[in-house]
């Protein structure tokens, strides 16, 4: 039987804190995995280190699962940041092992009760006659109800897509010759998006959906003959592995404890549609994606933004952290000095979202403060990566003006975010998107209180990311969804209306 934590009072009543990240898009998860040829006492700690490196991909819950032999799993999970959920000596309670997976999750307080938030923490576990399996999933399965029903699983009994899909794989395993075959049976029927790490029967399996919406990296342990997987390249390094390559869209990689790696492409080929926001916001600046430095791409976005939307100003200011590389690029291209005008409190963590605009605005000042001497009597270009709901941008502009800034020219390194995402981000309500609410730029400028407002064009985005072939998914900015999207009872689905 898998071991799990008891729900404590702290789990049910976590501290509520709102941060500047509220006004950003959020992925729902980040995943890591390790398999070694020899049992390692610190394998759980290695997974924890990897999860801390991708903490920005999910800040509501974290968990680690370690394989014991080939049929048992012991897991530790909790709500909160990795340092809270898995910190201290908690991971030392997990056994040494050869294989382990980890998961960080993003979720909002208006979609889960505190009890459900605990249950939603990954990795998800399921038992079968061949043993226990653990799965970490990054994405959103549009057809989850139909998918799991086919395998005799009641979706209503599961809080997350990951939990339901894990139960489906366990059910499919009863009729398949291998865990890999069962995973293919389930995920070949899944409607995107999904990046998955699967642990069970002494194996580590990585799967990336045929569109490749979300990244998954493969690393090696040359001295051991083992392998590692992670949502981003820096996590591989943190876990002590060497980067080998990206797992390709539609690929399944099966790693065994004897050092064997098998690659196959069991899914129907689809056009490449990596999420553009991996370059704009999600990935860490020191990450590599499709052979390109994220920081260099964002710096190039700033350069192009300066060429597309020049302005006379005294200083360029970037909103920490993801706006800083683009601000550097804007400064280099325009010749306007780059100034660090914000002090960010790095010790205010993000837990659950406080509902209500007043609480959201108060949270911005707790997280970010203006260095008044740097902006007083200055005309400034404010660089940020995106604007989703608009509340944070409006507050930051007001803070700058209160400190004596003469003009604030807002420049964003994404096109207007007008359409909700159904491929693993949390923006599924069109009415929450400020570019939808106020489509006229003049009205939006007045609402924000800025002197001028401009976005990077889609052409500029594609130039900065070397995407001349249109391989990035930009559905949230242009409405061109790569898969059919329908709505039924207020929810998105891939099933057309009857």
* Residue 29 falls in the annotated catalytic set: yes
Q: What is the 3-state secondary structure (H, E, C) of the chain?
A: CCCCCCCCHHHHCCCECCCHHHHCCCECEEEEEEEEEEEECCHHHHHHHHHHHCHHHCCCEEEEEEEECCCEEEEEEEECCHHHHCCCCHHHHCCCEEEEEEEEECCCCCCCCHHHHHHHCCCEEEEECCEEEEEEEEECCCCHHHHHHCCCCCHHHCCCHHHHHHHHHHHHHCCCCCHHHHHHHHHCCCCCCEEEEEEECCEEEEEECCCCCCCCEEEEECCCCEEEEECCHHHHHHCCCEEEEECCCCCEEEEECCCCEEEECCCCCCCCCEECHHHHHHCCCCCEECCEEHHHHHHHHHHHHHHHCCCCCCEEEECCCCCHHHHHHHHHHHCCCECCCEEECCCCCCCECCCCHHHHHHHHHHHEEECHHHHCCCEEEEEECCCCCCHHHHHHHHHHHHCCCCEEEEEECCCCCCCCCCCCECCCCHHHCHHHHCCCHHHHHHHHCCCEEEECCHHHHHHHCCCCCCCEECHHHHCCCCCCCEEECCEEECCCCC
Given the residues 11, 29, 255, 275, select the one marked as catalytic: 29
Any idea which residues carry the catalytic annotation? 29
């Amino acid at each position: 039987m898998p071991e799990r934590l008891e729900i404590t009072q702290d789990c049910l009543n976590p501290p509520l804190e709102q941060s500047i990240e509220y006004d950003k898009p959020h992925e729902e998860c980040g995943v890591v995995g390790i398999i070694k040829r020899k049992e390692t006492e610190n394998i759980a700690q290695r997974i924890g280190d990897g999860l801390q490196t991708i903490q920005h991909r999910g800040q509501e819950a974290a968990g680690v699962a370690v394989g014991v032999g080939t049929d048992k799993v012991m897991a530790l999970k909790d709500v909160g940041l990795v340092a809270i959920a898995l910190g201290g000596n908690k991971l030392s309670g997990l056994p040494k092992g050869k294989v382990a997976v980890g998961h960080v999750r993003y979720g909002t307080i208006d979609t889960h009760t505190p009890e459900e938030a605990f249950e939603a923490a990954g990795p998800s576990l399921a038992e079968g006659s061949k043993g226990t399996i653990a799965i970490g999933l990054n994405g959103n399965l549009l057809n989850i109800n139909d998918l799991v029903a086919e395998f005799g699983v009641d979706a209503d009994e599961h809080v997350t897509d990951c939990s339901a899909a894990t139960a489906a794989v366990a059910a499919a395993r009863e009729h398949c010759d291998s865990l890999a075959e069962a995973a293919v049976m389930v995920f070949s029927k899944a409607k995107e998006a999904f990046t998955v790490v699967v642990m069970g029967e002494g194996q580590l399996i990585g799967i990336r959906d045929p569109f490749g919406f979300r990244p998954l990296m493969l690393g090696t342990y040359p001295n051991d003959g083992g392998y590692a997987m992670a949502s981003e390249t820096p996590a591989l390094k943190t876990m002590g592995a060497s980067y080998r390559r990206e797992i390709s869209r539609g690929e399944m990689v099966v790693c065994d404890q004897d050092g064997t790696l098998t690659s196959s492409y069991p899914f129907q080929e689809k056009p490449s549609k990596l999420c553009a926001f991996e370059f704009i916001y999600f990935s860490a600046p020191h990450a590599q994606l499709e052979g390109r430095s994220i920081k260099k791409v964002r710096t190039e976005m700033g350069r192009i933004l300066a060429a597309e939307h020049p302005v006379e100003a005294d200083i360029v200011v970037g909103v920490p952290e993801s706006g800083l590389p683009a601000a550097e690029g804007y400064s280099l291209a325009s010749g306007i000095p780059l100034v660090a005008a914000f002090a960010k409190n790095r010790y205010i963590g993000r837990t659950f979202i406080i509902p209500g605009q007043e609480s959201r605005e108060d949270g911005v000042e707790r997280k970010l403060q203006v260095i008044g001497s740097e902006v007083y009597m200055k005309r400034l270009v404010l660089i940020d990566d995106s604007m989703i709901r608009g509340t944070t941008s409006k507050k930051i502009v007001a803070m700058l003006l209160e400190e004596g800034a003469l003009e604030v020219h807002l420049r964003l390194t994404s096109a207007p975010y007008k359409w909700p995402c159904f491929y693993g981000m949390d923006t599924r309500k069109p009415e929450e998107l400020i570019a939808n609410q106020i489509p006229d730029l003049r009205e939006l400028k007045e609402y924000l209180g800025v002197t001028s407002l401009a976005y990077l064009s889609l052409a500029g985005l594609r130039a900065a990311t070397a995407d001349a072939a249109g391989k990035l998914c930009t559905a949230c900015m242009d409405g061109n969804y790569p898969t059919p999207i329908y709505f039924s009872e207020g929810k998105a689905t891939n099933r057309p209306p009857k």
